[in-house]
Amino acid sequence: MAFGTRGGGGRRSVKRVDAPLPALLITMSERHPALLFNISQTGAKLRAKEAPANGTELFLQVGTLDVYAHVAWQHGELCGLIFEREIGIWDVEQLRLEAEKGTSARLTAAQKGGADDWHTGVAR
């Protein structure tokens, strides 16, 4: 298999950016609070106490972004999502800025503190 293909084994074709923010994974029957690790225009990596299984279709809410996705892989509390449709680079940049500044519109004061702790390494 050649490098740079979507089938795996090569480099990603889109850049991922760190954006540690609280997130919510919503399936047809459950809601999973999660922490976003990184995001790109095509997918995201998250941690959830009860991460949904491979293939699960869900709705991701993080910061000001709402997007349909499915779980591409799941290992313990970690999971990787592939978005149903590519999101805009401005959405990725907005989440990076929200994480950097702790200004997510949906965050409570406690969640902002937790995201700051994760970002600075206190909660890792």
* Domain ranges within the chain, ordered by starting residue: 17-120
Q: If we measure between CA atoms, which residue out of 63, 99, 60 comes closest to residue 82?
A: 60
pTM: 0.74
Query: Which fold does the domain 17-120 belong to in CATH?
Result: Thrombin, subunit H (2.40.10)
The pLDDT of residue 115:
57
Amino acid identity, position 123? A
The pLDDT of residue 48:
94
32 pairs with which residues across the strands?
Answer: 25
The pLDDT of residue 90:
94
The pLDDT of residue 5:
43
Are 54 and 72 within 8 A, CB to CB?
yes
The pLDDT of residue 15:
86
Please state the three-class secondary structure of the chain as a single string: CCCCCCCCCCCCCCCCEEEEEEEEEECCCCEEEEEEEEECCCEEEEEECCCCCCCCEEEEEECCEEEEEEEEEEECCEEEEEECCCCCHHHHHHHHHHHHHCCCCCCCHHHHHHHHHHHHCCCC
Which residues does the chain have with pLDDT short of 50? 1-10
Angle at which helix 89-101 crosses helix 109-120, to 10 degrees, equals: 90
The pLDDT of residue 1:
36
The pLDDT of residue 63:
87
